């Protein structure tokens, strides 16, 4: 296991690992929008003055329900592949957390409806209620993030399973959970900034001018996010112990760790450019997006390497090999491409036809 991820594993294992990581990346993008977006919306609602319009808050209110739907849809694919990679561990963690785990579902349903409630005239007209509604939604999403974090850490720790079962506790106590969740939440800010930047840019180009300060606000959000998430990552690294730290920069993870660090620098440069730009914002957003891609991909791989090295991964190879025997992957690939084309076509139809008509 000295080769860079995903090399150095048997073919089927490498294949499922790569598929898992790529699908998880798309979940992370949308999940970040939801997590950070709801938080930013709340802050803007608390700080906003009545009667003034707020382009960022309007945008978030408008798009958060869709982003949540996308986060859930994108979450289903890694949910499938994790069951092939770490079946027993994943199931066991689910079972041990029991009702606590299942609570994610009502929490997400409530969070979803609260996001829709934000759009109603009734809530819009009542500033205090608005804050309460957003607080409720944020609580639901933080709870969901906490649960995934807890599940991930518990699944990795086989030694904790039997004692936790005997204790009847549905809460896994581990000092890494809260800092890790904080890291996820703060790390979501730069992703949100990039996505918001694109949305505003598109709006600007479609003939609804967005002022420079709004773009600067987004750039500050991204830069601030990089700084606080970086500080949190450093703190978290202190907490996880020497072995995990060594694996994070060990041969399997090193190229990805470096990619993530380079990504942070590129993303930061993109945000600085966006902050200063009077025009050509698309270029700076493109740079920030490229950086973001490497940050998310790099950190997702490092995260996986830490799990691979924490469990008896070699023992799982035969399971991956057996799963790889079943047919259907070409079917998947074919329909993936066809449906991606159709989805793009649908989006194009909606955007071009609707705008032409409105204009």
Partner 1 sequence: MRLDAATLPLKRAQGTPYIVLVTVDTSALGVPYYPTNDFGPLMKGLVIGGLGIFHVFLAQFAIGGGVLMTYFEWLSGKGKLAPARRFTDGYFKLLVLVSFVVGALTGVGMWFTSIQTSPRTIGLMVDTFHWVWATEWTFFALEVVAGYCFYRYGDRLDGRSRLFLLGLYTVAAWFSLFWINGILSWQLTPGAWLASGDLWAGFFNPTFWPSLFFRTFAAMAIAALVAALVISASPSLERDEQKELLHRAAQLLAPMALMPLLGAWYLFAMPADSRSWVLGGSPAMSMFFGVGAGASLLVGLYAIFGLLLRRLYINSATASLLIVLGFAASAGGEFVREGARKPFTVRETLYSNAMTPAEIVTMREKGSVTGDPYPLRDAADYPNDQVRLGAKVYRFQCSVCHTVGGVNGLVHLAGTWTAEQTRLNVAKLQHTKPFMPPFAGTPEELEALVRFIEWEAASRPKDFSITNDPAELAQIKRWLDEAGTAPGYKTASEKKR
Residue of the chain from 40, 59, 82, 160 that contacts ligand HEM (CB under 6 A): 82
Of 268, 287, 284, 278, residue with least CA distance to 211: 278
24: tokens are 């998880």
21 binds ligand HEM (CB under 6 A): no
109: tokens are 């349903």
Residue of the chain from 34, 56, 84, 264 that contacts partner 1 (CB under 8 A): 84
Smallest gap from residue 281 Cβ to partner 1 (A): 24
Residues 288-317 vs partner 1: string with x where CB under 8 A?
A: ---------------------------x--
Q: Are 302 and 253 in contact (CB under 8 A)?
A: yes
331 binds partner 1 (CB under 8 A): yes
Distances (CA, A) of 24 to 32, 190, 204, 352: 12, 18, 31, 30
How far is 89 from 109, CA to CA, in rounded Å? 27
Looking only at residues 211 through 230 of this chain, which bind partner 1 when binding is defined by CB under 8 A?
none
141 binds ligand HEM (CB under 6 A): yes
Stretch that binds partner 1, among 5-13, 93-101, 125-133, 293-301 (CB under 8 A): 93-101
Distance of CA 92 to the CA centre of its chain: 24
Q: Who contacts 228 (Cβ-Cβ below 8 Å, separation ≥6)?
A: 186, 189
Select 272 or 311, whichever has its Cβ closest to ligand HEM: 311
Which residue do the tokens 């730290």 mark?
A: 245
Residues 34-53 vs ligand HEM: string with x where CB under 6 A?
A: xx------------------
Q: Who contacts 345 (Cβ-Cβ below 8 Å, separation ≥6)?
A: none
**Helix or strand holding residue 163 (H, E):** helix 161-167
Smallest gap from residue 71 Cβ to ligand HEM (A): 5
Looking only at residues 307 through 346 of this chain, which bind ligand HEM when binding is defined by CB under 6 A?
none
Q: Is 201 left (phi over 0), alpha (psi -120 to 50) or beta?
A: alpha
Smallest gap from residue 206 Cβ to ligand HEM (A): 28
Q: Who contacts 278 (Cβ-Cβ below 8 Å, separation ≥6)?
A: 212
Find the distance separating the first CA and the last CA of the chain, reported in whole Å. 58
Residues 86-125 vs ligand HEM: string with x where CB under 6 A?
A: ----------------------x-----------------
259: tokens are 């990619």
35 binds, among partner 1, ligand HEM, none (CB under 5 to 8 A by kind): ligand HEM
Longest dimension (CA), the chain: 65
Residues of this chain that bind ligand HEM (CB under 6 A): 24, 27, 31, 34-35, 68, 71-72, 75-76, 78-79, 82, 108, 141, 144-145, 148-149, 152, 180, 184, 303
Give residues in contact with partner 1 (CB under 8 A). 66, 69-70, 72-77, 79-81, 83-84, 87-88, 91-92, 94-96, 98, 101-102, 104-105, 108-109, 112-113, 116, 161-162, 165-166, 168, 315, 318-319, 322-323, 325-329, 331-332, 335-336, 339-340, 342-343, 346-347, 349-351, 353-354, 357-358
């Amino acid at each position: 296991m000295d080769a860079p991820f995903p090399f150095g594993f048997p073919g089927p294992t490498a294949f499922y690992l790569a598929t898992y990581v790529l699908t998880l990346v798309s979940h992370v993008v949308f999940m970040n929008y939801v997590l950070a977006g709801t938080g930013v919306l709340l802050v803007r609602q608390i700080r906003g003055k009545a009667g003034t319009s707020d382009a960022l808050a309007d945008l978030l209110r408008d798009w958060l329900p869709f982003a949540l739907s996308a986060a859930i849809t994108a979450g289903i694919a890694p949910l499938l592949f994790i069951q092939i990679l770490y079946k027993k561990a994943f199931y066991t963690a689910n079972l041990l957390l029991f009702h606590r785990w299942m609570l994610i579902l009502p929490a997400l349903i409530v969070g979803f409806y609260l996001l829709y409630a934000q759009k109603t005239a009734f809530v819009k007209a009542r500033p205090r209620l608005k804050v309460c509604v957003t607080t409720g939604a944020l609580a639901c999403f933080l709870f969901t993030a906490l649960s995934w974090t807890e599940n991930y850490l518990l699944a990795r720790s086989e030694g904790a399973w039997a004692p936790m079962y005997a204790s009847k506790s549905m809460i896994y106590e581990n000092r890494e959970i809260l800092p890790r969740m904080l890291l996820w939440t703060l790390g979501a800010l730069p992703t949100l900034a990039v996505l918001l930047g694109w949305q505003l840019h598109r709006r600007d180009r479609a003939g609804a001018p967005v002022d420079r300060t709004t773009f600067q606000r987004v750039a500050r959000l991204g830069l601030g996010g990089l700084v606080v998430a970086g500080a949190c990552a450093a703190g978290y690294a202190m907490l996880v112990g020497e072995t995990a730290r060594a694996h994070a920069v060990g041969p399997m993870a090193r190229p990805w760790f470096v990619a993530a660090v380079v990504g942070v620098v590129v993303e930061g440069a993109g945000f600085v450019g966006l902050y200063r730009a009077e025009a050509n914002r698309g270029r700076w957003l493109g740079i920030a997006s490229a950086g973001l891609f490497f940050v998310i991909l790099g950190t997702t791989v490092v995260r996986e390497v830490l799990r691979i090295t924490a469990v008896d991964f070699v023992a799982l190879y035969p399971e991956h090999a057996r799963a790889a025997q079943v047919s259907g992957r070409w079917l998947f690939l074919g329909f993936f491409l066809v449906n991606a084309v159709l989805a793009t076509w649908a989006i194009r139809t909606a955007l071009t036809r609707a705008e032409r008509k409105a204009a």
